[in-house]
Amino acid sequence: MMLKRRGWIKENSCGCSGKGREWRYTDLRSLCVQLLADSVLAHPIDNFGRFNRESRLIVLSSALALYDAGIVYGRDRKQDIGIVGTSTDGSLSSNLDYFRDYASCGRTLGRGNLFIYTLASSPLAESSIHFGLQGPLVFLRYADDPEERMLAEAEFMIRNGDASALLAIVFDSQKADCHYLSGGMP
Amino acid sequence: MREETAVITDCDIRTAYGRGLACCWEGLWEGRTAIRPCTRFDTGHFPSRMAAVVDGIGYGGRSSLAARMLIPLLESSKPLVPCDAVPVLASTTGEIDLLEKNVLEGTGDAAESRLDVFLEKVKAAAGIKGGGFVVSGACASSSAALGFAAGLIQNGKHDCVLVAAVDAVTEFVFSGFSSLMALDPEPAKPFDRQRAGLSLGDGAGFILLMSCSRAQREGRAILGEISGWAMTADANHMTGPSRDGDGLKRAIQKALDRACVSDGDIGVISSHGTGTVYNDSMEMKAYTAVFGRPVPLYSIKGAVGHTMGAAGLIETAIALRVLRERVIPATIGLRDADPEAKNWVSSEKRKLEKSVVLLNNSGFGGVNAALVLRQPYAERQ
């Protein structure tokens, strides 16, 4: 039986489904403080200030999903949990941010802190790093029924032995919906 | 559920050596690098000018750089590709020059550069009607895609998958890697004591996988098997691999376990071998942890450059040739092996003693992917 828990974040509110908790927020930084105080986050998110928007939404929804599932994590503790994600635009907004900045600087110097987000998998990687997730890490985009197919693929990966558990995340620049999937009870 | 063997029945690639596996193999055989000063765009402001670009493909064409490299390969493959094949596209930046054009000239739509949009072009070129998906896992994209494809076949979900991969040397990526100080001012020197970074390269290709039973039913030649695969993450740093190689070590061990082979069965390692100080060192730590004693390894990135999302697919195609010819290519660019890699890597060609290849790639964000490739079953008897 597949264990499923869920954390979500959208404009002004976030929550987790299994525990039935919700938070309202005005900005993501103050939300981080609140989630740290409520033990949803085990420790502050390093470099949160330089994350792009998708990375911030993904790491916070991941925190909520892990909290919903009762998964404990820590700075020195790495776990065999993977992370897969899907979105319509991939890294399009980050690609534009990077290249517009590069062009505006005279096409002589790019900014590395913007370039690293021009991979569709990078926002997922930020979560992998913060939570110590060492399973598969990949962005998938299906042509048909993309969200349902990605979630189905995540379940298949667990059944197929590719990971013992996965965070499967549907995201865009405004919201993120993170499903924690596991082949057994935590 | 009955397990099927995932076999490779067809493949083709395009690198800076030219179109086709034969000319790439010839370049490797002759010890000739395809990395040279890049004239596709102005590199004068960057620390390196070196890249391996496909001749005759430059800015200003009617379609994107990536499309001009990949689509002709797929159109030629149409007679061989069943229309019910599942199409999988692996890439990091795809048609990013469409976005460049939108930003610089104000023409076109930047959204046309999205990978799902390119997937539809891939399907049309290959004559495939529906479905499919994009895999993007940084520079491990295409080895991850091949692993996904093999998993779909082994578990009976599909019996035919077409994996296509491409990435082009664009001003976008060249400037980006330059900003990270990742490029060697000279052609890349994988595993060399004096290595100083990577060289980017154009790369495109496809691999057609089938279940063994379908391939036999249709009378297709079997070029090799993908018998093991795995993906892991370092969970360490966005641009720096883990210093101890633990993430890659775990990916390799999982792939070997899935293939039901031991480390002693591996005849050669097709490494990621980018030529950066940290990547190559990380790989050697992982290999040492898994194997404990030297196993022949090589990298082709001093020859064709780092083809980013296409690297795993191109390296798989070359690995199939290694299995067939029973020759391990020289690591082009290598002059003086780093002490960590001594007795593993060579600047000379070597004979392949055992017919199982381990292939691995890693990427930004700490992604690792490993594949185990074998000769066709009939040739092992």
Q: pLDDT tens, A76-85?
A: 899 999 999 9
Task: From B199, B217, B235, give the residue that closes a domain.
Answer: B217
Query: What is the overall mean pLDDT for chain B?
Result: 96
Residue contact A90–B92, C-beta within 8 A: no
B222 falls within a domain: no
> What's the average model confidence in pLDDT over B176-204?
98
Please check the confidence at residue B154 and state whether its pLDDT lies above 50. Answer: yes
Please check the confidence at residue B240 and state whether its pLDDT lies above 90. Answer: no
Q: Give chain B positions within 8 Å (CB) of A142.
A: 131-134
Single-letter residue type at B196: A
Please check the confidence at residue A185 and state whether its pLDDT lies above 90. Answer: no
**B253 touching A (Cβ < 8 Å):** no
CA distance B349 to A175: 53
Q: Tell me: do B150 and B263 sit in the same domain.
A: no
Q: Tell me: do B98 and B23 sit in the same domain.
A: yes
| A125 → chain B, closest CA residue | B365
Q: Tell me: do B200 and B245 sit in the same domain.
A: no
Q: Tell me: do B296 and B182 sit in the same domain.
A: no
Q: Give chain B positions within 8 Å (CB) of A103.
A: 103-104
B178 falls within a domain: yes
Q: Which of B270, B255, B265 is nearest to B320 (CA)?
A: B270
Q: Tell me: do B67 and B92 sit in the same domain.
A: yes
Q: Give chain B positions within 8 Å (CB) of A92.
A: 99, 110-111, 113-114
B1 falls within a domain: no
Q: Tell me: do B212 and B278 sit in the same domain.
A: no
Q: Tell me: do B108 and B70 sit in the same domain.
A: yes
B126 falls within a domain: yes
Total structural domains within chain B = 2
Under 8 Å between Cβ of B189 and B51:
no
| B229 → chain A, closest CA residue | A162
CA distance B39 to B49: 8
Q: Tell me: do B284 and B180 sit in the same domain.
A: no
List, for residues A67-108, the tens digit of each pLDDT value: 999 999 988 899 999 999 999 999 999 999 999 999 999 999
Q: Which ranges of B240-307 does DSSP label H, i.e. alpha helix?
A: 246-259, 277-291
Q: Give chain B positions within 8 Å (CB) of A95.
A: 93, 96, 99, 110, 113, 172
Task: From B182, B217, B252, give the residue that closes a domain.
Answer: B217
Q: Tell me: do B182 and B269 sit in the same domain.
A: no
B364 falls within a domain: yes
**A110 touching B (Cβ < 8 Å):** yes
CA distance B95 to B118: 7
- The residue segments making up the domain with residue B152 are 6-217
Q: Tell me: do B261 and B134 sit in the same domain.
A: no
pLDDT for A75 equals 84
Q: Tell me: do B277 and B144 sit in the same domain.
A: no
> What's the average model confidence in pLDDT over A129-147?
96
Residues, chain B: 381
Angle between helices B21-29 and B311-325 (to 10 degrees): 70
pTM: 0.97
Torsion over CA: B224, A154, B115, B82 (sign): positive
CATH code of the domain in which B184 resides:
3.40.47.10
What ipTM is given for this predicted complex? Answer: 0.96
The separation between the first and the last C-alpha atoms of chain A, rounded to the nearest angstrom, is: 12
Best of B175, B183, B254 to disrupt the A interface (most A CBs within 10 Å) is: B175
Separation in Å, CA B131 to CA A142, B92, B119, B141, B160: 7, 20, 10, 19, 13
B116 falls within a domain: yes
Please check the confidence at residue B284 and state whether its pLDDT lies above 90. Answer: yes
Q: Tell me: do B241 and B308 sit in the same domain.
A: yes
Per-residue confidence band for B381, with pLDDT thresholds at 50, 70 and 90: low
| A101 → chain B, closest CA residue | B103
Give me the residue from A92, A128, A140 closest to B366, CB to CB.
A128
Task: From B155, B184, B217, give the residue that closes a domain.
Answer: B217
